Structure 1
């Protein structure tokens, strides 16, 4: 029994089920390696340390010299506490104990830690190809950024407008990052300025034409003109402009005017793109691109100057956004950083500081999960949970020991019940019932119901008075004898 218990203790130590640390000599490496002083001669099995191999290493440690630092991690982890997983692309899930660098499974992973896919691949094994205009992606419908910043859309399916400077635009909105080329306007620089037309907005509409598709197809005339090419003059007494096609529907009572008679409110907008308001008395924001804005609301029409965002371009991009030479650091609408965050920051605008519980205060700029593990005493993806020493291990081992003891007790109960049932069956087979018949003879009733007589007599002969009297005398004699014997037996 003692030998069985010793073997069980060794096995439980080796698989991490001990309630506390290993018992003396139980976790020594090799056979018969425990000296008379209970010290292990050849060292400890994996996961334990100390002269007697009674102390347990940190979780994920394969070997250690103390309870605070690992000398070797189990496969799949690195750092001196073995708390950081190896990259998903590491061959055989093995990486350098100190740096986490490894040999990649394939060229589809980025060399080094092999923890990310190369720019044109995605998936758990980085074996799926991104859409053709993606610079990097996470699925076939979601690109992280577009090639040459020349496309936009969720999977870079749209080409930036030829009206964008350098033909580059924001991936999400198509907004031109560097503004519009000469002759173009609009949020995406996909429209021509008044009086210009053509694929490059470099051709002039006819003299009195404000907007046109070609030299022979005007869509809007200057005040006082009408016709396909705006060559016809409206009657001199028109209040505003006349019908575009016929020159009719004119007010013949007043001369042409540009502001409201009673209030002075401008009827047709401002004559300068840098002004807005009912009376054209307000100045567009200096951070609006080309300082142009909506004549009623003041919202910037052509986007913002470099590194400003918002409808009125009155917000600055965060200084925590990463920058690329010559490019905006954030989009012009919501201020989301275009190229990620500087170390120590996270969030769409990179305006949140990484937890000080992260090693080097460095975290993923999207998820805020610590990149290099936690400082001592904390754990979890964001290092938000404090570690209580040995408590978790104690409860885990206690549960497993309780389960093992419970199994042995349950087995003993089952064996006991089975033995009791067998004993009762045996007793029943060997039990006989004795009766005295009408002749005064003892007979035995066997379990199968048959009768056997102790004294041979004829049970089939007629019963007479003398038979009954003789029977009663025998019964009386037997009862008297038993009563005399009973007191003696009790003494």
Structure 2
């Protein structure tokens, strides 16, 4: 029965260790309170299970002399070294490798494992943390055995790839190949320069192994002997070699000369003539081959064959492009903003947006908000409503105000001043601001046709109602003879005036009738009683009859 207590006792032991902790100082893990199994960082575990401090520069160690990791800016984890070496001062704050001491980074203008090499001997002084970016300057080479340090070439070598591989020698020495070596060897005493010990590089006008013979060929810089005959091998500048002789050829020829010394391919800029020996006139870049006074391309912003007139200052300048035509001064690349014309000497109208217009005609594609016209040369009426600072206020084509007219003005362009006496039916609304101007004439036509149609329809309804009422009364009178006959009397003073007014206001006074009010009333009477009317615009059938009302009328 005691076996069941073993797990409980073990659990209580573990809980005891966790609650009370290890009694050994700097112990990270322990199996009991008195024995340590692992120490804190910076300490090492001795054979008696006690934790001791690592050496001063160690971050981690296995004993008193062997570090496994160094603190920042120290290195050397070799046995018994105990991180005792500081990183070099040339290393950055990132320190150095614990094993080799190589810097993790170099300060600017230095390179190498320990950052003690400067970039001064690097080509263009460019280097990274390891070596020169583009190699060393002339006279030096990169030593692969010294961490790419720039070392001086050997002997009289001025350019080399290694101490045993020279590419160019000083004056008085020549490249000498021996087995796998290329070094500089001295020329013989008779030669200032040589390409081998037996062959000198002769000065101008001399030839032979020791440069002791004269060429005696006019304008010849160097010569050789072929089959015991001296021939020129190179001429002085300004001459070309033809059949072993040096003939004159201008240095201003584009492609050399022919046998007559005439230039091939023309002349260089500023020169002319068959042999390109004559200069073009002042300010001329290229001129006629026969007449140097006739310029074909001016040197600068000028025109005329004498390059005597300046191009317009308003011609647009394009890099490496002629600014204006040499014959007439016409600007070839367009105009600066604000100008137009062949010579860009005319101002665009101020109404053009961004002050830009067509070079050929001065027309503008877009006008500023206050202007209109093909060239934006006209200003919108000051009577146009302007309630949006970001929008145009009139049409570009005709100046019609987009948002209507200010109070007291009318017309498409709002230039007509309105008055009540002149426009009784519309002026009142115009003056009080109640009437909106219609911009497009097409819209006015649609409104007029709609109003006329509605007015005519109203007249037809009134006539039909009147006729129906008359017929009903006649039928009623015939069916009951005992009832006093009453004829309906139409209040012509009111009804006809209303009908006429409706016709006039509806815009249909001309549909089958004359346009006067009296004639319109007359037409209505004719339709009501088949033309039976008298001079007083009353029914003839109503004579002798009276109504019961005091007014004397019976209203329909």
Assess same fold via TM > 0.5. no
Larger radius of gyration: 2
Instruction: Output the TM-score relative to the length of structure 2.
Output: 0.26
